[in-house]
Chains A and B, each alone.
Chain A
Amino acid sequence: MEDVITEIPPPSRFFQEDLNNFITPSPSLPSPFLVFSNPKPKKPLRPSLLIIALSSPSLYIFHHLSPKTLIGSLILPEVPLSGISIDPSLSDKTCNIYSLNDGDKSILLVSVQNGVSAERSHLVSRLLIGEDIVPERVLILDSIQSQNFRGKLSPDETYAFKLETLAERKGLGGGNVASSLLKGLDYFPSGSMIDGLAAALLSRCQLKNIKGALCVSWPEFGSSVAGLIRSLLQRNVLPNLDSSLKGDVQDQYARFNLMKHQPYDTEMYT
């Protein structure tokens, strides 16, 4: 049982292998690559907005978004392709790229359903931003990783924070807060860090001077956080979101969440 008086601080220390010059590196992997359904797309693609969904609630919301057109996929050679459905499914380990219709805005959506390791994130971020895809603006949706968060995270409360590139913040200068992608959210508290693909993507935006915003939410799963993400997207990003979603996403997500993230192994019980 955990000590109820003090919480163990999140780990901030190195593993032994982090401090060893002579440790054998992981076997090198073939580079990831993009494939597009149109064999000869006009490259680079220049969407006005690139949305990259990493968190469970955002993946669920976008899966039920319609209409959207599957235009391509990011292939990670280390992820097996066997078992992938013909029609996109939430259980597939895929990284599909969709085109969304929203008036005169060209929006691309990347649903990252397979895990991307921290070591591969630098490469993947280069593929998604700045080479074959050069977006005007980027929105990344991820979850807070409790081990990297230096504050208190109550499982009963819902939070969302943001981080923005300098270009995004400068673009909002002159009090043009109305155009902020993540209006109303507080900045992620100083002292805590975000790592992995979300960090690599936002860093890439900063280095390329692209307007970019990252929203991290808590908890990782749950209908309340799905509702929070949905209202954020509807308010600032996709005003027609509600009419584009099939059914009551929040309720469906609660049921999906319950099935997918059981705290116990149901196969033990007959």
Chain B
Amino acid sequence: MEFVIEQGKQPHHECSTLILPALSIGNVGQLAMDLLVSSMKAERIGYVDDPFVLPCVGNDAYGPIPCGDLALPLEAYQSSSSRLTLLQQRSPVVKGRMVEFAKNLANFAAASGKKHVVLLSSLDFGKWQKIDMSSGLQIHYLSSVNPDGRDARCEQLGWKRLQEYNPAQRCWKYLRTLAEGNTMLESNLPFEDELEDEDYYPSLPFAALFSCLKAKGLKVTCLLCYCSEGDNIQDAFQLAEAACRLLGLNPSTFPGNGSGGWVIPFSWQTVYGPPPDMSIF
């Protein structure tokens, strides 16, 4: 993984908190990142080049009027006022290479002096088994601060620890072993056709990133929301707001002029495809 600094830009070392999406159902983490970058008017400082991320290019996603500024698969932004580095990922990871990608990202984060990494991701409503109706549509979290994934700050904010996190469970243990670079006996490998319900959560990209970042000694906080695939804009808002609460940021003080400080990215105008053709009526 190579970080290419954009010409004339300079990463600031005080931006020691890194926030990034983990690919997930509904692209919620990525949508939340779009919202944060757009609303903070974060400045792009460079690109991350990784052979395990599939290629894509596009026109500027944020506007206000896209003028041909190239968008690449992995872009690093900076908000000095919020002391944040934001990493947006626009395309999937090569099949079967998620753990390698996570390791590369963890190495990059550690080498760039990051101290706290916040992962934004979502979980499938259809897989939610330990349904607690009192929790509603609230944020779930997973933290590296304690072995059981608990974090006092997140508890204080009223969020629920991801109950399905069990560090002793075979897949979580396997991820930890991979992240630490140790080899495993082949009989302990969770084969694809043997995956069970309890293997769902550690099979997700956020789990690979969490395990690899934690193995590098970084503080990691995963913010998760349950959703179904569809119009996930509101889920993105929920996640972005949670990230701000965690980091003590107030969206109304962002440089944007949108409602509550949020600025809808220009690219969201067609995020779910073109509107229906009204000329037929």
Contact = CB atoms under 8 A, between A and B. Distances in A.
Nearest to A6: B276
Contacts of B23: 14, 18-19
A7 B70 contact: no
Nearest to A216: B57
A93 B228 CA distance: 42
B96 A25 contact: yes
Contact of A21 (B47, B51, B60, B207): B207
A192 B208 CA distance: 29
B57 A202 contact: yes
B270 A151 contact: yes
Query: What size tier do the contact residues of chain A reach?
Result: 35 or more
Interface stretch (B112-120, B198-206, B215-223): B198-206
Given A24-B96, A26-B95, A202 B59 contact: no
Q: Which of A5, A169, A193 is packed against the most chain B CB atoms within 10 Å?
A: A193
B95 A17 contact: yes
Contacts of A14: 23, 25, 27, 92
B97 interface: yes
A184 B27 CA distance: 35
Contact of B208 (A21, A189, A207, A209): A21
Contacts of A22: 171, 174, 190-192, 195, 199, 203
B91 to A, nearest CB: 7
A18 B93 contact: yes
Interface stretch (B12-20, B61-69, B134-142, B149-157): B61-69
Contacts of B2: 207
Interface string A196-224: 11111011001101000010000000000
A21 B57 contact: no
B274 interface: yes
Interface stretch (A65-73, A96-104, A159-167): A159-167
Contacts of B280: 4-5
Nearest to B27: A12
A119 B94 contact: yes
A191 interface: yes
Contact of A163 (B68, B175, B192, B229): B68
B116 to A, nearest CB: 23
Interface stretch (A40-48, A120-128, A244-252): A120-128
A163 B68 CA distance: 6
A206 B70 contact: yes
A203 B73 contact: yes
A196 to B, nearest CB: 7
B176 to A, nearest CB: 12
B45 to A, nearest CB: 13
B55 A23 contact: no
A193 B204 contact: no
A13 interface: yes
B158 interface: no
B90 interface: yes
B98 interface: yes
Contacts of A7: 273-274, 276-277
B54 interface: yes
Contacts of B49: 203, 207
Contact of B27 (A13, A23, A189, A196): A13
Contact of B271 (A152, A191, A214): A191
A171 B195 CA distance: 54
Contacts of A26: 95-96
B188 interface: no
Contact of B92 (A18, A21, A25, A189): A18
Contact of B91 (A17, A162, A165, A195): A195
B56 interface: yes
B249 interface: no
Contact of B203 (A20, A121, A151): A20
B72 A206 contact: yes
B49 to A, nearest CB: 6
Interface string B167-180: 00001001100000
Nearest to B50: A122
A164 B270 contact: no
16 contacts: A17-B96, A19-B23, A20-B192, A21-B98, A21-B175, A22-B174, A22-B195, A121-B55, A125-B55, A163-B70, A166-B70, A188-B58, A190-B59, A190-B60, A190-B269, A203-B49
Across the A-B interface, the 9 shortest Cβ-Cβ residue pairs: A25-B96, A9-B273, A150-B270, A200-B55, A190-B66, A191-B267, A191-B270, A199-B55, A190-B59
Given A125-B55, A193-B58, A209-B7, 12 more contacts: A10-B273, A21-B208, A22-B203, A26-B95, A163-B59, A187-B68, A189-B59, A190-B66, A191-B266, A193-B56, A199-B56, A207-B49
